[in-house]
Amino acid sequence: MNTVDIIVPCYNEEEGLSVFYQETQKILDGIPNYQFTYLFVNDGSRDETLRVMKTLASEHANVKYLSFSRNFGKEAAMYAGLTYSVGDLVIIMDADLQHPPAMIPDMLKGIEEGYDCCAARRSSREGEGKIRSAFSNLFYKLSNRMTDVRMAQGAVDFRIMTRQVVDSILKLSEVERFSKGIFAWVGFNTKWYPYENIERAIGTTKWSFWGLFKYAISGITSFSIAPLRLVTGMGCIISLFAFLYIVATLIKTMITGIDVPGYVTLLCAVLFLGGIIELSVGILGEYIAHIYMEAKDRPIFIVKETNLDRKNP
Ligand code: UDP
Ligand code: MG
């Protein structure tokens, strides 16, 4: 019998967690030949999420939990789940039922067909603001143009993976984790399952617009050095123009003599170059920030308590 671990990152999900368990269990009860274990990761929730997890664990033998010492973010929670997982297959899904458990049987069939990975992708962005979807589209266009990894548009963190894929993901132990890129980077055959976006029924989304923006920038700079090349390119083009302008000005001065006015030209040039330099320093800074974070080599998460037998992964 194949064992399957279901990793569920949870941050302030006290209202929905029992419903999530019931709804998911209803589906799992109809799947023979697999043995499922839930691995709830409490990502430093400020509400009673951990208590709900403990209650579930006392009622059901297939419920395990890990609880962080503080909020480390969803990426850290998913990584922790993967680190502690031992199943032949691993499922990652959200706790808010936006990832329909009813898709699990189909996704398992995909694995039986021989795929290494079966992942869900939103076919529509309904229930999401216009500005947010516009920025999201822009992000996919930019990142797919700039990076070697092809990130599937609308891909969500709802997937089933074989042990081999999980082990490969765990080899990428970077501190600043961008899972969408990491999943694409490790490769393997992925089967995509489109589904209609469902609005969150219980609780609220944990993502702010600013949070998503920072996540997108970090995603691009984690997987691509194209922005650095852009700086080099800008430098080359501006130097070329500057050189031509200097030659032209010299010739003009030699022919017509020095004319004093030129205040506007000077001001424009200074401001323009100032802007470009600030932008370039900013781009360099993004990469230095990555180096800084990785060089510190801090743990990605800290577990405070768990009911797992294995206290260390
Ligand atoms: N989550 C988490 N840590 C965080 C933020 C979110 O573990 O710091 C979990 C959250 O509990 C949920 C999943 O990540 O299970 C997705 O979060 P959310 O529904 O807020 O994001 P969205 O569906 O809007 O992308
Ligand atoms: Mg959600």
Residue 65 DSSP one-character state: E
| Interatomic CA distance for residues 152 and 207, integer angstroms | 20
Same-domain status, 190 and 269 = no
Closest ligand to residue 157's CA: 1
Domain containing 99 — which CATH number?
3.90.550.10
Of 7, 10, 11, the one to substitute when testing ligand 1's pocket (max ligand atoms within 8 A of C-beta) is: 11
Same-domain status, 113 and 157 = yes
pLDDT for 312: 67
Q: Which residue has the tokens 């089967």?
A: 191
Same-domain status, 122 and 242 = no
pTM here? 0.84
Read off the pLDDT of residues 239-281 as tens digits, 9 standing for 90 and up. Answer: 888 889 888 888 888 888 877 777 778 888 888 888 889 989 9
Same-domain status, 49 and 140 = yes
Q: Is residue 90 part of a domain?
A: yes
Nearest residue to 95 via CA among 74, 116, 118: 74
Q: Is residue 312 part of a domain?
A: no
Going from the C-alpha of 25 to that of each of 6, 28, 37, 62, 72, the distances in angstroms are: 11, 5, 10, 10, 28
The two three-digit tokens of residue 62, written as one number: 């297939």
Query: Is 181 close to ligand 1, i.e. is its CB under 6 Å away?
Result: no
The pLDDT confidence band at residue 132, using thresholds 50, 70 and 90, is confident
Same-domain status, 6 and 72 = yes
Query: Is 13 close to ligand 1, i.e. is its CB under 6 Å away?
Result: yes
| Interatomic CA distance for residues 298 and 301, integer angstroms | 9
Same-domain status, 16 and 123 = yes
Closest ligand to residue 12's CA: 1
Read off the pLDDT of residues 22-68 as tens digits, 9 standing for 90 and up. Answer: 999 999 998 988 999 999 999 999 999 999 999 999 999 999 999 99
Query: Is 10 close to ligand 1, i.e. is its CB under 6 Å away?
Result: yes
Determine the atom of ligand 1 nearest the C-alpha atom of 206: 20
State yes or no: pLDDT of 77 exceeds 80.
yes
| Interatomic CA distance for residues 146 and 226, integer angstroms | 6
Closest ligand to residue 20's CA: 1
Query: Is 11 close to ligand 1, i.e. is its CB under 6 Å away?
Result: yes
Instruction: Tell me, in angstroms, the distance from the centre of ligand 1 to residue 98's CA.
Output: 10
| Interatomic CA distance for residues 75 and 127, integer angstroms | 24
Q: How many domains does the chain have?
A: 2
Q: What is the extent of the structural domain holding 57?
A: 2-220+300-306
| Interatomic CA distance for residues 87 and 6, integer angstroms | 9
Same-domain status, 131 and 94 = yes
State yes or no: pLDDT of 128 exceeds 70.
no
State yes or no: pLDDT of 201 exceeds 80.
no
Same-domain status, 205 and 232 = no
Q: Give residue 39's Cα distance to chain centre.
A: 20
pLDDT for 84: 95
